[in-house]
Amino acid sequence: MSQTKIIEIGTGYTSIPSKVGAATEIVVEEIVKSCLKKGADITIFDISDDQRTPSNLPIEEVYLPGFIAGKVGYSLGIFHKMKRVWYSTLLAFKLNRYIKKDKQYILHFHNQYNFFFFWKLSSASKRKNVKLYYTNHTYTWSLAWNDIESLVKTKYYMERYSMQKADMTFVLNENTVSNLIEHANIDKERIKLIPNGVNTEIFTKLAPDDQNVLALRRKLNMENKKIFFHAGTICERKNQLQIIQYLTPLFKENPDFILIYAGGIREDDYFASINNYCKESGIEKNVYYAGELPPGRELNTYYNLAEAFIFASKSEGFSLALLEALASGLPALLSKNLEIEFIKVKDNGISTFENQEELLALIKSEILCPEKQHQHALQARDFVVRNYSWDKVVEKYFPGILYADHTAQ
């Protein structure tokens, strides 16, 4: 029998490789890169883009007119949903034409619209030689069921349906596993817990005198500043305002301390509240918004500017930014309310805080002490390389299909 064909499905939010910090698109890209290294027959089906970032990725485009395909952002409202519907419908038609009856396939979906429309617009005979995989990236499913039950019925009913129909559902945390088994009627044998990975070749530790690091410091006029960093979509759930509030006493004592935060603005009012707080508190010069940074080496340089990565989300399914920071050799300070599994591991470069007092104490004892900061940095990088590089993680998706070392074939 011929080798199984794997098709990774881009969500249609933005094209791959992503020009913005779109976590799901980054996941698709990195899965494909690692599968190619291991000899897989794999292709991405993705939204058309006449300005696509050049790459060697094997991509089949699903055509949408440029005025539709090029619109990106949740602020588009109903247009955003219509774009999902248009793309998912045309995606289903293209997949139906592509699939041949004499070949085995795995279709790996990452979005509820994409899966739902393919299922509805394909026949059982067309799917006979097709395994359908679905990765649940939605943090909502990790919350307490009483808090999300109504939301699932109104917003994520297609996702529940998709996971019920999928041959295998991949999830990012144990809480989601429990919710799917207990409340979504999904057999535990069709659920697999697989963490996201990180590209440890792109996200890596740079020397303090690296030319890119020095150039970025000069560009930002921060040559002699002590920098902390945060990356994440600007919204109340990511809780950037609380980080800034907690750091305010440190800024008052140390005018040369800076927080750089980056990410796409999802909630304009929330972003305005951050700016208003900084102005009213007299710390505007201590807080710098870097915008939405493109994924890859530029973002890695930002991680390497900092002494620590600070993360205080109110809820999180799994944080790709956290893995990137650790891979970059950046110690992480995390809110204790986060239930990300690997936080519980010892000697991983992560320290946790419950309140402002604990955060400031950690900064003073663990981050501003050069020896301890260096030790945390080494542990962070080592922990991710050993456990979360994409080359290791990807084998969990497709066991028995990938070569352990394609270069030896």
Q: Looking at the predicted structure, is the pLDDT value of residue 341 above 90?
A: no
Q: State which amino acid sits at residue 14.
A: T
Domain spanning 5-199+390-400, CATH class: alpha beta
Listed residue (199, 198, 176) closest to 188, CA to CA: 176
Cis-peptide into 17, omega within 30 deg: yes
Place of tokens 């619209």: 113
- In this structure, of 77-91, 126-140, 151-165, 270-284, the range with the lowest mean pLDDT score is 77-91
Mean local confidence (pLDDT), 212-232: 96
Whether 358 contacts 403, CB under 8 Å: no
- Spans of all domains in the chain: 5-199+390-400, 211-387
Q: Looking at the predicted structure, is the pLDDT value of residue 75 above 80?
A: no
C-alpha atoms less than 13 angstroms from C-alpha of 187 in its C-beta half-sphere: 6
- In this structure, of 141-145, 176-180, 312-316, 337-341, the range with the lowest mean pLDDT score is 337-341
Mean local confidence (pLDDT), 19-35: 90
**DSSP letter for each residue of 346-377:** SSSSEEEESSHHHHHHHIIIIISSHHHHHHHH
pLDDT band at 402; cut points 50, 70, 90: confident
H or E segment at 275?
A: helix 268-281
Mean local confidence (pLDDT), 258-278: 96
pLDDT band at 293; cut points 50, 70, 90: very high
Q: Looking at the predicted structure, is the pLDDT value of residue 407 above 80?
A: no
- What integer pLDDT is reported at residue 386 of this predicted model? 92
Give the CA distances from residue 359 to residues 244, 350, 365, 380, 381, in Å, rounded to whole numbers and listed in that order: 11, 12, 10, 18, 22
Mean local confidence (pLDDT), 237-258: 97
- In this structure, of 37-46, 125-134, 230-239, 335-344, the range with the lowest mean pLDDT score is 335-344
Mean local confidence (pLDDT), 59-88: 81
pLDDT band at 408; cut points 50, 70, 90: very low
Q: Which phi and psi angles does 61 have, rounded to 5°? A: -85, 140
- What integer pLDDT is reported at residue 344 of this predicted model? 67
Q: Looking at the predicted structure, is the pLDDT value of residue 343 above 80?
A: no
Mean local confidence (pLDDT), 242-247: 98
Between residues 248 and 82, which one has the greater pLDDT? 248
Whether 231 contacts 240, CB under 8 Å: no
In which order are the strands placed within the sheet that holds 350-353? 287-289, 257-262, 226-231, 308-311, 332-335, 350-353
CA–CA separation, 52 and 278 (whole Å): 37
- What integer pLDDT is reported at residue 79 of this predicted model? 77
CA–CA separation, 99 and 404 (whole Å): 27
- What integer pLDDT is reported at residue 1 of this predicted model? 42
pLDDT band at 406; cut points 50, 70, 90: very low
Query: Residue 107 CA to chain centroid, in angstroms?
Result: 20
Q: Looking at the predicted structure, is the pLDDT value of residue 313 above 80?
A: yes
- What integer pLDDT is reported at residue 195 of this predicted model? 86
- What integer pLDDT is reported at residue 409 of this predicted model? 39
Taking only the tens place, the pLDDT of each residue in 98-128 is 999 999 999 999 999 999 999 999 999 999 9
Mean local confidence (pLDDT), 16-21: 84
Task: For the chain, give the percent of residues with pLDDT over 90.
Answer: 82
- What integer pLDDT is reported at residue 80 of this predicted model? 76
User: Structure pTM?
Assistant: 0.86
Q: State which amino acid sits at residue 8.
A: E
CA–CA separation, 12 and 166 (whole Å): 20
Fold match, 5-199+390-400 / 211-387: yes
Give the CA distances from residue 404 to residues 37, 382, 384, in Å, rounded to whole numbers and listed in that order: 9, 21, 19
Strand partners, 231: 262
Mean local confidence (pLDDT), 147-162: 96
Q: Looking at the predicted structure, is the pLDDT value of residue 203 above 60?
A: yes
Taking only the tens place, the pLDDT of each residue in 294-306 is 889 999 999 999 9
Q: In CATH, what number does 211-387 get?
A: 3.40.50.2000
Whether 266 contacts 233, CB under 8 Å: yes
Task: For the chain, give the percent of residues with pLDDT over 70.
Answer: 94
Mean pLDDT, the chain, integer:
92
